[in-house]
Amino acid sequence: MSSPRPATATTVDAETQHRVEQFLYREAELLDTFALEEWFELLDEDVRLEVPVRSARHPGSERPEFSEETNYLREDYEMIRERVGRLAKEYAWSENPRSRIRHVIGNVRVLETDGDELTVANNQHVFRSYGDTPDHDLLSAQRHTTLRREGPAGADGEWNYTIGHRTVYLDHAVLNTKNLTLPLL
């Protein structure tokens, strides 16, 4: 998997840009509050979620910046459903006590439009603290997401989007976190 290229945004109207941003902000809120079942409803049934491993490499290296074979996560709809179900149980030890998570979403760009699909790039920082210790994680990434318009616009003229595919390009060559739980993505 090659590096995410500097993304040149395509021209979209201000309303589309606003709706895409609001969708991403709403999604971040669902993840921050562990409303994972509601978040899961935002996914298409053919969704793929990928987090490729980043390679540390020398300048000028021809090796890809991101592995094409190795991923921290590569999941489909059923695998994500299983994770969401596990995290809802009291025996989800990786989230007991539950993490406190905050997403900061920025630099949202619509890269491409193709009918009812939008390819969107955004940067994010995710802060996580847990337990009663000063320990915390800070993850930085660029995400590329395929959003699909779902059905006709509602009575208010708003489009509903679903997530068809997402690749999260972490800025870290070595993860500085104890686990990579869904709400961090």
Q: Which two tokens stand for residue 88?
A: 């809802």
Mean pLDDT, to the nearest integer, of 96-120?
90
Identify the H or E element spanning 163: strand 160-170
pLDDT (0 to 100) of residue 160: 86
- Grade residue 9 by pLDDT with cuts at 50, 70 and 90: low
- Grade residue 6 by pLDDT with cuts at 50, 70 and 90: low
Contact 118, 146 (CB under 8 A): yes
Task: Look at residues 48, 50, 49, 53 and name the one whose alpha carbon lies nearest to residue 70.
Answer: 53
pLDDT (0 to 100) of residue 158: 64
- Grade residue 4 by pLDDT with cuts at 50, 70 and 90: low
Contact 66, 2 (CB under 8 A): yes
Terminal C-alpha separation, the chain: 18
pLDDT tens column, 51-106: 999 988 888 888 888 988 899 999 999 999 999 998 888 777 777 777 889 999 99
pLDDT (0 to 100) of residue 112: 85
Mean pLDDT, to the nearest integer, of 18-35?
94
Q: Which two tokens stand for residue 150?
A: 């779902």
How far is it, in rounded angstroms, from Cα 140 to Cα 185? 10
With a cut of 60, say whether residue 3 has pLDDT above it.
Answer: no
CATH fold of 14-184 reads Nuclear Transport Factor 2; Chain: A, (3.10.450)
pLDDT tens column, 143-163: 999 999 986 666 665 668 999
pLDDT (0 to 100) of residue 133: 81
